[in-house]
Amino acid sequence: MVKKRIAVGRLFHESHGYALPTPAENITVVRGDKLIEGAKGNGTTLGGIVDALLERHDVELLAISDSMIAPSGLIEHGFYLEQRRFWEDQVKRLEPDALIIDLHGSMGTTALEDAEGDFLAHIRTIVGESVVIGVGLDLHANITPAMLTAADICIACKQNPHDDYYDTGTRVVELVFEVLAGRLHPVYTLAKARMLTPGKLETHLGPLKEMHARARTLEQSTSAIVDISLYNAYRFADFTDMGQAAVLLSDGRYSQAEGIVLEFAQEFWDRREEFKDDLLTVDEALNAVAERPDRLPRVLADLGDRTLAGAPGDSTLILQAALSHARPLKGAMTVHDSETVAQAHSAGIGARLGMRLGGKMTPLYEPFEVEGVVRVINHDDVKLFGPNFARESAGMGDTALVEIDNRFQVIVTSKPGFIVDPNIFESHGVRVSDQDFVVMKSQFHFNRNFEGLATSLYLATPGLAYYVPGAFEKNRARVWPDTDVSDDPIIAPQVLHR
Ligand SMILES: [Zn+2]
């Protein structure tokens, strides 16, 4: 049997257009066998890709490069070009039959707004027309014609929280083999509504639940429809071709595709008011914690400072409010502040520290002058329990646990990290069940990881990651509610193929 040579990798980043750029030294690059070992069984798209390929006997698996980067500011362009060059060299050397790649879809560099579009177009020019390229994206991608014309397979996950990354990976592998076998001739039809969704982004609630259900029914009902991906554009980017997108993947041209994607785009627009949020202030949330009828801890989702949406994670606003709250609450949280980590590491366990904690990266915050006692210093990587991001690295870098006022357990991190999981705390000896509240830097992804341990409250906190119309000035994008687009709300369907 002649084995298919399949190259795999990941370059995954959601780039915040309003935060400080992400320096190359904050980015981990994994290559070779370590990539495969790390991806096996892990709950990400790359995990699904690698597992599906390992199950097949007709595959020779080739590892290229893996960077799973926590959301943060735009990627340094030089770093991006180095990665692209590496992929180029490896693809030339390995001569694969197909490339299967896990990308986010809203990566930007300090010089490029559509990094994935550039990346895929570049790889296409290197490999030529006969090599199959498959891509699994996040549904918060800013999907572009450049991506859809460069790749053969390019589909999004369907759920937020992203419980189905893994399934997306296995599906991409399945479709790539259909293309390799000559059984699938991918054509994409794309339409967009010129709008952002201010909130209500969970796919198991509200308009998105209904729209995804309709998409799944359409996929089942017609064999010509292979996939319908609905994209909720990443809001903290300033992207020329920005909007809520529907992309239909058909086997060959499908006459009704334009009508279908247009209907989804129109539905986004018609239901735009239903995407507005109703959230708690910090004080309302702390009152709810103090008055909760059960003893279960509450997870406070610090929406303004979500590292999962590209904010630095350096807020101390909830800590400050909790310290001055009328009730003596106990809580645990993270603060991204590498200076304080270094200070704690040199002071040592048991030392009393005067800190200027956090507030050094987000322009809206100030460092918080406070004292604490160093309880833990840590150099080890923390793996997340999951199920969301199961076994992924938390990406916090060196950390220190500093206790404040004998009741707040503050894990100070040197990197923003994936702050979505109980093991952020448990790994430092802090039991979630002993707290009144813990703070997560994510809007959705932590929920399943805290099932049975804590219930969630959502806070409209100030910061780079809470979308307030008008607060993030759009120079390129023309989108509601920042701009009045009511005379021209829909970007007409485009049919795209290689
Ligand atoms: Zn996402």
| CA of 160 relative to ligand 1 center, distance in Å | 7
| CA of 372 relative to ligand 1 center, distance in Å | 35
| CA of 156 relative to ligand 1 center, distance in Å | 10
Give the residue-averaged pLDDT of 474-486. Answer: 94
Q: Measured between alpha carbons, how far is residue 77 from residues 1, 65, 115, 308 in Å?
A: 42, 17, 9, 21
Answer CATH for 4-275+491-496 from 3.40.50.2300, 3.40.50.20, 1.10.240.10, 3.50.50.60: 3.40.50.2300
* Sequence spans of domains, the chain: 4-275+491-496, 282-459
**What's the mean per-residue pLDDT of the chain?**
96
Give the residue-averaged pLDDT of 240-248. Answer: 96
| The two three-digit tokens of residue 55, written as one number | 């199950």
26-82 residue pLDDT tens = 899 999 999 999 999 999 999 999 999 999 999 999 999 999 998 889 999 999 999
pLDDT at residue number 71: 86
d(CA 258, CA 304): 37
Q: Which residues of 151-162 are buried (b: 16+ CB within 10 A; e: fewer)?
A: bbbbbbbbbbbb
Share of the chain above pLDDT 90, in %: 90
In the predicted structure, residue 315 carries a pLDDT above the cut 90: yes
Beta bridge pairs of residue 297: none
pLDDT at residue number 239: 92
Give the residue-averaged pLDDT of 380-403. Answer: 96
Q: Which residues of 51-86 are buried (b: 16+ CB within 10 A; e: fewer)?
A: bbbeeeeebebbbbbbbbbbbbbbbbeebbeebbee
| CA of 182 relative to ligand 1 center, distance in Å | 32
Phi (first) and psi of residue 32, to 5 degrees: 70, -150
pLDDT at residue number 298: 98
* Confidence category of residue 19, pLDDT binned at 50, 70, 90: confident
Best CA proximity match to 307, nearest among 397, 434, 199, 369: 397
- Taking every pair of Cα atoms in the chain, the longest distance, rounded to a whole number of angstroms, is 72
| The two three-digit tokens of residue 497, written as one number | 């193929």
pLDDT at residue number 72: 87
* Confidence category of residue 468, pLDDT binned at 50, 70, 90: confident
| CA of 139 relative to ligand 1 center, distance in Å | 6
d(CA 252, CA 188): 9
Best CA proximity match to 8, nearest among 76, 54, 63, 84: 63
| CA of 481 relative to ligand 1 center, distance in Å | 21
| CA of 445 relative to ligand 1 center, distance in Å | 9
pLDDT at residue number 310: 83
445, 389 contact by CB (below 8 A): yes
d(CA 213, CA 228): 11
State whether the Cα torsion 452-459-415-340 is positive or negative: negative
| CA of 290 relative to ligand 1 center, distance in Å | 32
SS (H, E, C) the chain: CCCEEEEEEEEECCEECCCCCECHHHCCCEECHHHHHHHCCCCCHHHHHHHHHHHCCCEEEEEEEEEECCCEECECHHHHHHHHHHHHHHHHHHCCCEEEEEECCCCCECCCCCHHHHHHHHHHHHHCCCCEEEEEECCCCCCCHHHHHHCCEEEECCCCCCCCHHHHHHHHHHHHHHHHCCCCCEEEEEEEECECCCCCCCCCCHHHHHHHHHHHHHHHHCCCEEEEEEECCCCCCCCCCCCEEEEEEEECCCCCHHHHHHHHHHHHHHCHHHHCCCCECHHHHHHHHHCCCCCCCEEEEEHHHCHHHCCCCCCCHHHHHHHCCCCCCCEEEEEECHHHHHHHHHHCCCCEEEEEECCCCCCCCCCEEEEEEEEEEECCCCECCCCCCCCCECCCCCEEEEEECCCEEEEEECCCCCCCCCHHHHCCCCCHHHCCEEEECCCCCCCHHHCCCCEEEEECCCCCCCCCCCCCCCCCCCCECCCCCCCCCEEEEEEECC
In the predicted structure, residue 222 carries a pLDDT above the cut 90: yes
| CA of 387 relative to ligand 1 center, distance in Å | 16
75-134 residue pLDDT tens = 999 999 999 999 999 999 999 999 999 999 999 999 999 999 999 999 999 999 999 999
| CA of 157 relative to ligand 1 center, distance in Å | 9
| CA of 308 relative to ligand 1 center, distance in Å | 9
| CA of 109 relative to ligand 1 center, distance in Å | 18
* Confidence category of residue 20, pLDDT binned at 50, 70, 90: confident
d(CA 276, CA 217): 26
| CA of 437 relative to ligand 1 center, distance in Å | 25
Phi (first) and psi of residue 227, to 5 degrees: -160, 145
Give the residue-averaged pLDDT of 234-258. Answer: 96
| CA of 370 relative to ligand 1 center, distance in Å | 35
Best CA proximity match to 402, nearest among 358, 462, 445, 433: 358
Predicted structure pTM score: 0.80
* Confidence category of residue 294, pLDDT binned at 50, 70, 90: very high
pLDDT at residue number 498: 84
Best CA proximity match to 68, nearest among 117, 17, 113, 22: 22
d(CA 487, CA 379): 56
145-200 residue pLDDT tens = 999 999 999 999 999 999 999 999 999 999 999 999 999 999 999 999 999 998 88
| CA of 333 relative to ligand 1 center, distance in Å | 23
417-453 residue pLDDT tens = 999 999 999 999 999 999 999 999 998 899 999 999 9
Share of the chain above pLDDT 70, in %: 100
Give the residue-averaged pLDDT of 343-371. Answer: 96
Best CA proximity match to 266, nearest among 247, 249, 245: 245
| CA of 1 relative to ligand 1 center, distance in Å | 39
* Confidence category of residue 224, pLDDT binned at 50, 70, 90: very high
| CA of 193 relative to ligand 1 center, distance in Å | 19
pLDDT at residue number 469: 76
